[in-house]
């Protein structure tokens, strides 16, 4: 789980989390506390909590709650970034539970330390599993820049499932300087299936080829996912030194105007409030963006009425909350600036992307009174897309 959500579990003390993890399921009124406790210890630093996570991670379980707690403990070890966890994570790669193996591969990647030849071989052997497992292992090899002497990963570029083949293409690009099949990822950015579009966005970030930033920006998936890959492309570069056109592309990505995205014709929604509301709730972000685009095409009175209704009835939905904040800026609705202010000062982690929308809306609405706060927020936040947004907006807001 992202560090952005650590505040949700802060009320559970480290000592309580250790106690819950060590308890038997039958001793707990709420068995879900076990895996919540594991997540909580991912944000701790003591050796006692680290050893507790190791103990949970090393022992396979049959009970569902225990099994989930083990997965979360493995995930937490990745967040702790202590290389002493590597042998335990390598051992977990042999588990028969696919999510456990995926979490172990991801944790090894996050710890980002050198592996022995034997450990690399054990990681490579984990390719012998379901497609999601294969994808996680390939991503580990890509992000750790590990060699594949037997060309096993290269052979997977021909897999039918793009979750596997796309990850293998990204490995070839980043670790072998072979961009010959990168066009397949670019094509996948326009796939009808949202899962495939999301996978392509991630794979392009892993591939590390900055020349395809423009294609990434235009893809209709969630802004935070695109931002993660976009900033990953520049992970080894000083963002102050990148060309102006790349700065403009990053701004375009973060401003996230649906009228600038490559939306499929089949997603078009009629210019009626009820139809727009229905499509805003769709699980495919592409269809959500099409609904927002339709809202932006309504007559001014209908726009305001729909925004008011969405805020009243669905404002707690963090997706719709984000779109409302963005639309107020796009439409120049200064009389709704109070909602932008609320979004800017909202500290709940699930509304983090709304703070990005709010910062850009402050610029569009010339809310100069928030410049000092935006500057402070940019200096204090750990989330790179929000930090970069605040720096850009603060510089332009005058």
Residue 203 binned pLDDT confidence (cut-offs 50, 70, 90): very high
pLDDT in tens, 36-67: 999 999 999 999 999 999 999 998 988 999 99
Distance CA 212, CA 200 (A): 12
pTM over 0.85: yes
Token pair belonging to 5: 């959500």
Q: State the pLDDT at residue 5.
A: 46
Q: In terms of C-beta density within 10 A (0-12 exposed, 13-18 middle, 19 or more buried), how is residue 112 classed? A: exposed
Q: In terms of C-beta density within 10 A (0-12 exposed, 13-18 middle, 19 or more buried), how is residue 257 classed? A: middle
Distance CA 102, CA 90 (A): 11
A 10 A CB-CB count for 119 gives 17
On whether the CB atoms of residues 204 and 170 are closer than 8 A, the answer is yes
pLDDT over 70 percentage in the chain: 97
Average pLDDT over residues 203-215: 95
Element (H, E) at 352: helix 352-364
Q: State the pLDDT at residue 240.
A: 85
Residue 150 binned pLDDT confidence (cut-offs 50, 70, 90): confident
DSSP state of 283: S
Distance CA 93, CA 281 (A): 37
pLDDT in tens, 260-285: 999 999 999 999 999 999 999 999 99
Tell me how many degrees the CA angle 362-331-296 measures, rounded to the nearest 5.
135
On whether the CB atoms of residues 325 and 357 are closer than 8 A, the answer is yes
On whether the CB atoms of residues 123 and 140 are closer than 8 A, the answer is yes
**For residue 237, pLDDT beyond 90:** no
Q: State the pLDDT at residue 347.
A: 94
Query: What are the extents of the domains in the chain?
Result: 1-80, 299-396
Token pair belonging to 152: 């096993």
The DSSP line for 16-82 is: HHHHHHHS-GGG-SSTTHHHHHHHHHTT---HHHHHHHHHHHHS---SHHHHHHHHHHHHHHHHHT-
Q: Which residue has the tokens 């056109």?
A: 245
On whether the CB atoms of residues 102 and 74 are closer than 8 A, the answer is no
**For residue 3, pLDDT beyond 70:** no
| Phi and psi, residue 24, nearest 5° | -80, 150
On whether the CB atoms of residues 182 and 213 are closer than 8 A, the answer is no
**For residue 304, pLDDT beyond 60:** yes
On whether the CB atoms of residues 290 and 269 are closer than 8 A, the answer is yes
Token pair belonging to 183: 């066009």
Distance CA 225, CA 282 (A): 17
The alpha carbon dihedral of 172, 175, 179, 184 has a sign of positive
Residue 250 binned pLDDT confidence (cut-offs 50, 70, 90): very high
Residue 10 binned pLDDT confidence (cut-offs 50, 70, 90): low
Token pair belonging to 364: 């569009």
Token pair belonging to 138: 């390939």
pLDDT in tens, 314-365: 989 999 999 999 999 999 999 999 999 999 999 999 999 999 999 999 999 9
């Amino acid at each position: 789980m992202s560090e952005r959500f650590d505040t949700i579990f802060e009320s559970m003390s480290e000592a309580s989390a250790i106690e819950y993890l060590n308890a038997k399921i039958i001793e707990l009124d709420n068995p879900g506390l076990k895996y919540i406790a594991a997540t909580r210890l991912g944000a701790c630093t003591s050796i006692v909590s680290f050893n507790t996570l190791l103990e949970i991670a090393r022992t396979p379980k049959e009970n569902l709650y225990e099994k989930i707690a083990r997965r979360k403990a493995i995930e937490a070890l990745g967040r702790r970034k202590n290389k002493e966890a590597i042998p335990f994570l390598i051992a977990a790669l042999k588990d028969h539970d696919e999510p456990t193996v995926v979490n172990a591969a991801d944790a090894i990647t996050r710890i980002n330390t050198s592996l022995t030849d034997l450990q690399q071989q054990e990681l490579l052997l984990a390719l012998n599993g379901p497609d999601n497992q294969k994808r996680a292992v390939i991503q580990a090899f890509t992000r750790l820049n590990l060699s594949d002497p037997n060309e096993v990963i290269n052979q997977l570029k021909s897999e039918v499932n793009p979750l596997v083949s796309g990850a293998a293409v990204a490995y070839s690009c980043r670790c072998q300087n072979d961009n010959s099949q990168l066009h397949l990822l670019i094509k996948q950015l326009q796939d009808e299936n949202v899962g495939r579009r999301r996978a392509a966005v991630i794979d392009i970030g892993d591939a590390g080829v900055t020349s395809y930033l423009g294609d990434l920006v235009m893809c209709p998936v969630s802004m935070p996912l695109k931002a993660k890959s976009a900033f990953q492309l520049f992970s080894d570069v000083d963002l102050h030194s990148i060309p102006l056109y790349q700065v403009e592309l990053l701004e375009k990505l973060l401003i996230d105007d649906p009228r600038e995205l490559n939306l499929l014709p089949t997603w078009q929604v009629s210019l009626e409030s009820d139809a727009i509301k229905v499509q805003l709730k769709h699980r495919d972000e592409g269809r959500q963006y099409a609904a927002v685009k339709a809202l932006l095409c309504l007559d001014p009175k209908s726009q305001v009425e729909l925004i008011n209704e969405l805020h009243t009835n669905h404002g707690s939905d963090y997706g719709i909350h984000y779109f409302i904040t963005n639309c107020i800026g796009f439409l120049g609705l200064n009389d709704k600036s109070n909602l932008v202010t609320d979004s800017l000062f909202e500290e709940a982690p699930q509304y983090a992307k709304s703070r990005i929308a709010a910062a850009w809306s402050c610029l569009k609405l010339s809310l100069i009174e928030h410049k000092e706060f935006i500057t402070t927020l940019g200096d204090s936040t750990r989330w790179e897309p929000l930090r970069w947004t605040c720096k850009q907006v603060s510089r332009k807001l005058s």
